Homo-oligomer: A and B are copies of this chain.
């Protein structure tokens, strides 16, 4: 509140770089910066050698290199964990505020992992790397964070309905191309994803831990919930599933508290929560859907009810949909940058 009352003129414009500018998230980052009026003095778009020379909105894409971060104030990384590990520390060492969308530093105890509406207090005071969470985590904690006002969260069981966009622009193309092929009665060999995607769904394609049976996506989501919510002992289990939806992630959550909780109290809290929109119309059977979450900044929350498998009344069931590219990635990264860049 106070910050937005400060005169805009007091804020110096930043030299901004986006690494991974040609990817699905990179494109949304450019859009979010513009739409939200992030004070940008210059915008440097960086990507792999392969994409260098492409033009995006008047900017020529440059190949990322050791020299690319000179004079950069704010750097967004969204080109995978390998690129982040190679270049993000370098950018930070040169004084940039780095917001990293990859998994490279999320669980580093020296790096803040932040959803600003939930744990802005974890943000560092000076330059360095801040991690943006996995897209499932980013959507989920938008509801779970505010619900801590009801009582301590002790257990979460989640099942996800994840969209193609989480696997990048090429996966979105594969979903539409394979679906068109099936409708035309033509064969289609998957190239990006390991399984047929048209009118199909499959367990998330991250590698599965041979011991626990959880896949890498689930492990990330579970660990990141604990870190962002500040609940190191949270009992949590997720099942992550890829569904044939283009760009919004949905999830069914069962959330247990340390005391009895009421759905109506949860609804009141979520109705006031920033970045959350209640879509919970039982009479009209209108609840969160990917088509309505797509392109929206807010996470849609509904199906809020007492979980009847808990006779003690401590558990709530919820259903969420949130835009994977915005709340799950680009928007959250820009919200972090807004808080850091003062």
Contacts and interface: CB of A to CB of B under 8 A. Distances in A.
Contact of A161 (B161, B208, B288): B161
Nearest to A281: B208
Interface in A198-256: 199-203, 205, 207-210, 212-215, 222, 235-237, 239, 241, 243-246, 250, 252, 254
A180 interface: yes
B213 A309 contact: no
A200 B290 contact: yes
A275 interface: no
A243 B244 CA distance: 8
Nearest to A282: B208
A290 B195 CA distance: 11
Interface in A278-326: 282-283, 285, 287-291, 302-311, 317, 319
Interface of A is mostly: mixed
Contacts of A161: 161, 201, 241, 243
Given A200-B291, A202-B287, A254-B237, A213 B303 contact: yes
Contact of A195 (B236, B239, B244, B289): B289
A239 B319 contact: yes
A308 B214 contact: yes
A179 interface: yes
